[in-house]
Amino acid sequence: MRAFAVLSVAFALVLATATAGHGVDDSKDLIVTRRDGGKRIQCFIVTETLDKLTYTLGKGSKEVGAKWSDLVKVEYAEMRSGAWPTAVDARDRGKYEEAADLFNSVGDGGREWQHVYGAFAEGDSFELAGKYAAAAEAFAKLANYPKHRLWLDGTYRYGFCLALAKKETEALKVADELQAFGKKESVAQADVRANAIRAAVAAAKGDVTKLSENQGRARFSAVSEPEEWFHFAIFYADSLRRLGKVKDAAMEFRAITGQLENDPSKKAQASFGYGQCLVETDKQAALVELLKLDALPYGSPSQKCDARYLAGKLLWEEAKAGSGDAKAAAFHKANSKTARTLLTAAAESTANAEGKGKAKALLDSIGPDPDEKAEKDAKDVKGKPAADDEAAEAEEE
DSSP 44-88: EEEEE-SSEEEEESSTTPPPEEEEGGGEEEEE-GGGGSSHHHHHH
Q: Is the pLDDT of residue 277 over 60?
A: yes
CATH architecture of the domain with range 19-79:
Roll (2.30)
pLDDT at 80 over 90: yes
What mean pLDDT is predicted for residues 260-267?
Answer: 83
In the chain, beta strands by DSSP E: 29-33, 40-48, 52-56, 64-67, 71-75
The pTM for the full model equals: 0.83
**Which of 8-17, 43-52, 122-131, 344-353 is predicted least confidently?**
8-17
Q: What is the mean pLDDT of residues 51-73?
A: 93
pLDDT of residue 260: 86
Of 106-110, 339-343, 378-382, the poorest mean pLDDT is in 378-382
Domain boundaries, the chain: 19-79, 84-305
Residue 202 pLDDT > 70, yes or no? yes
- CB-based contact 237:200 (threshold 8 Å): no
Please return the burial class of 117, using the count of CB atoms within 10 Å of its CB with bins 0-12, 13-18 and 19+. buried
Whether residue 320 has pLDDT greater than 50: yes
User: pLDDT at residue 178 above 60?
Assistant: yes
3-state secondary structure of 245: coil
Q: At 155, is the pLDDT very low, low, confident or very high (cuts 50, 70, 90)?
A: very high
Residue 7 confidence class, pLDDT cut points 50, 70, 90:
very low
Q: Is the pLDDT of residue 167 over 60?
A: yes
d(CA 287, CA 335): 12
Provide the pLDDT confidence category of residue 20 given band limits of 50, 70 and 90: very low
Interval 283-299: pLDDT, tens: 999 999 999 888 888 87
Average pLDDT, the chain: 88
Q: Are 234 and 214 in contact (CB under 8 A)?
A: no
Which element (helix H / strand E) includes 203? helix 188-205
Specify the CATH number for 84-305; select among 3.40.50.620, 3.10.129.10, 1.10.275.10, 1.25.40.10: 1.25.40.10
